[in-house]
Amino acid sequence: MLSCVEMHIGDNVRVRSSGRHARIIEDHGHSRQRVLLYSDPDVDALDSATIEDEDDAGGIYDTDDLELIP
């Protein structure tokens, strides 16, 4: 499935495979984005808006594996 929505650094997205929310922090070209995951609200509801340490959370995903959150 090809994505018709253009994604940019700073956009909030949902990782389709896990449902986790994240922010795009780097564009790796060829429709690949590096994201930084937000804390999991099911684990700590008070910390749900806090972004985890960049070294501990995130990854590089194909744009088709991400869903833009309006």
pLDDT at 50: 54
Could you identify the residue written with the tokens 């808006």?
49
Report domain extents, the chain. Answer: 12-68
Q: Does the structure show a pLDDT above 60 at 14?
A: yes
Structure tokens at 62: 């194909």
Contact, 64 vs 1, CB < 8 A?
A: yes
Sorted by sequence, the CB contacts under 8 Å of residue 43 that are 6+ apart come out as: none
Nearest 5°: the CA angle 19, 39, 31 is 50
pLDDT at 1: 47
Structure tokens at 36: 């930084």
Using one digit for the tens of pLDDT, what is the confidence trace for 18-63?
999 999 999 999 999 999 998 766 655 555 555 555 555 789 999 9
